[in-house]
């Protein structure tokens, strides 16, 4: 049955419910399986309207595009309260883990030895932590002697850092601008 214009509000409500009950970001392809008569454009239009409507409500959570899908996420303004409520500690990674994660994110697929070469130290335990936290995963094996594992980031990485896709990672130029801005801020502080 084709959804007509008068039923668009109902369609949006159903999509909203699907996103709400999904345990991971819901893709438009998954939504399209429920509504095979709709084209991708009709679905993305409904989702965009929902994003705009939730944004206009200015509530404690919002509908966000993350990890190639859509998910309701709490506002970062209230993270301290949410962590207290859940009695959880903030998600933290060591400097070595963040360094290795960045190397993997920007160079994937990459072997542990290649990560070691860039960092200048052994990264096996750090990569173990990243695997444990499901921020990286084994993507295959490199076709060289020994056939070492190739590592890459996961959808959970995208979710954790609030990225739609890997294209949303800052470029080298953007990173340099951020670093320059931070250095200028420190230079203005009188010690």
Confidence of residue 3 (pLDDT cuts 50, 70, 90): very low
Task: Please name the fold of domain 95-188.
Answer: Arc Repressor Mutant, subunit A (1.10.10)
What is the mean predicted confidence (pLDDT) over 18-43? 91
One of 3.30.160.270, 1.10.10.10, 3.30.70.20, 3.30.830.10 is the CATH number of 5-84, namely 1.10.10.10
The structural domains of the chain, with segments of one domain joined by +, span 5-84, 95-188
What does each C-alpha distance from 64 to 45, 82, 102 come to in angstroms?
Answer: 14, 18, 23
Q: Is the fold of 5-84 the same as that of 95-188?
A: yes
- Report d(CA 181, CA 191) in Å as an integer: 18
Of 24-33, 69-78, 85-94, 97-106, which range is least confident?
A: 85-94
Q: Determine phi and psi for 73, rounding to 5 degrees.
A: -135, 145
Three-state DSSP state, 80: helix
Which of 148, 139, 147, 154 is CA-nearest to residue 109? Answer: 139
Residue whose entry in the numeric block shows the structure tokens 């130029």: 173
């Amino acid at each position: 049955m084709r959804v007509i214009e008068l039923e668009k509000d109902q369609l949006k409500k159903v999509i909203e419910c699907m996103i709400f009950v999904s345990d991971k970001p819901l893709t438009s392809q998954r939504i399209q399986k429920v509504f095979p008569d709709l084209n991708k454009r009709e679905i993305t239009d409904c989702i965009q309207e929902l994003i705009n409507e939730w944004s206009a409500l200015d509530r404690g959570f919002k509908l966000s595009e993350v990890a190639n899908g859509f998910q309701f996420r709490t506002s970062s303004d209230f993270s301290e309260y949410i962590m207290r409520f859940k009695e959880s500690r903030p998600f933290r990674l060591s400097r070595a883990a963040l360094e290795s994660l960045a190397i993997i994110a920007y160079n994937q697929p990459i072997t542990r030895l290649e990560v070691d070469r860039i960092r200048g130290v052994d990264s096996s335990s750090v990569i173990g932590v990243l695997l444990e936290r499901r921020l990286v995963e084994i993507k295959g094996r490199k076709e060289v002697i020994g056939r070492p594992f190739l590592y890459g980031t996961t959808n959970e990485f995208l979710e954790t850092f609030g990225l739609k896709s890997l294209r949303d990672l800052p470029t080298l130029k953007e990173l340099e601008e951020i670093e320059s801005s931070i250095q200028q801020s420190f230079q203005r502080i009188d010690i």
